[in-house]
């Protein structure tokens, strides 16, 4: 009888260790996914001043648009550094809107559109935007897996015991998800 008790206790202990390790794994997957987004946000953060400086040479009458891009860049940076996922989503929406307007206004400046540095920066930032969208999808998937695992039985017991927490999905504003009115972007 004593041997059976110890065998059952050992099996239960191994099972709890397995559940705990699984929760640690999904929690770290969320952190890794956020780090991947963070790297791309930092890279884009570094490219934006170069783009604005290039545009300033040609777009003397578009100061308000350039200033909005710089202000939105600062908001994204502050939200990213504080790891506030909700604030990143809001700030990203503002930055993407400003960049869209900037690229649309660039159409009115043939010399700017032909500038090799502008072309390279536009392509680089567009590539980073695509990467951020891909990483956002991966991050949200990782968050979903984590949140489901810590809510399911028996994971919920281990999660509560060791204080595992839900993570927040990275969401963008409703207007970001709507179709883009390209004509409106060309209006002053």
- Asked whether the beta carbons of 149 and 155 are under 8 A apart, the reply is yes
What distance in Å separates the CA atoms of residue 149 and residue 155, rounded to the nearest whole number?
6
Question: Is the pLDDT at 188 greater than 90, yes or no?
Answer: no
Q: Looking at residue 105, what is its pLDDT?
A: 82
181 vs 28 pLDDT, higher one: 28
- Please write the tens of the pLDDT for every residue from 148-162: 999 999 889 899 989
State phi, psi for 162 to the nearest 5 degrees: -105, 15
Q: Looking at residue 175, what is its pLDDT?
A: 52
Q: Looking at residue 61, what is its pLDDT?
A: 67
CATH of 2-185, one of 1.10.760.10, 1.10.3720.10, 1.20.1440.20, 1.20.1250.20: 1.20.1440.20
Q: Looking at residue 34, what is its pLDDT?
A: 92
- What value does the mean pLDDT of the chain take? 84
Q: Looking at residue 185, what is its pLDDT?
A: 40
Torsion angle defined by CA atoms of residues 129, 75, 97 and 86, in that order, rounded to the nearest 10 degrees? 80
Residue 7's CB is within 10 A of a number of other CB atoms, namely 10
Nearest to 72 by CA among 51, 187, 57: 51
Question: Is the pLDDT at 71 greater than 50, yes or no?
Answer: yes
What distance in Å separates the CA atoms of residue 34 and residue 139, rounded to the nearest whole number?
6
* Exposed / middle / buried, residue 164 (Cβ in 10 Å: 0-12, 13-18, 19+): buried
Question: Is the pLDDT at 21 greater than 90, yes or no?
Answer: yes
Question: Is the pLDDT at 106 greater than 80, yes or no?
Answer: yes
Spans of all domains in the chain: 2-185
| Strand, coil or helix: 178 | coil
Average pLDDT over residues 72-77: 89
């Amino acid at each position: 009888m004593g041997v059976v008790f110890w065998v059952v206790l050992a099996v239960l202990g191994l099972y709890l260790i397995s559940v705990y390790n699984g929760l640690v794994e999904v929690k770290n997957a969320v952190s890794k996914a956020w780090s991947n987004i963070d790297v791309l946000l930092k890279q884009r953060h570094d490219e934006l001043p170069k783009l604005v400086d290039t545009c300033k040479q040609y777009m003397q009458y578009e100061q308000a648009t350039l200033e909005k891009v710089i202000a939105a860049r600062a908001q994204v940076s502050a939200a990213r550094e504080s790891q506030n996922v909700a604030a990143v989503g809001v700030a990203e929406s503002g930055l993407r809107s400003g960049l869209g307007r900037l690229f649309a206004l660039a159409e009115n400046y043939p010399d700017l559109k032909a500038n090799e540095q502008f072309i390279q920066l536009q392509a680089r930032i567009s590539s980073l935007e695509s990467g951020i969208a891909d990483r956002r999808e991966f991050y949200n998937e990782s968050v979903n897996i984590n949140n489901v695992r810590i809510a399911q039985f028996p994971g919920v017991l281990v999660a509560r015991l060791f204080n595992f927490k839900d993570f927040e999905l990275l969401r963008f504003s409703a207007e970001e998800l709507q179709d883009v009115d390209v004509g409106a972007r060309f209006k002053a």
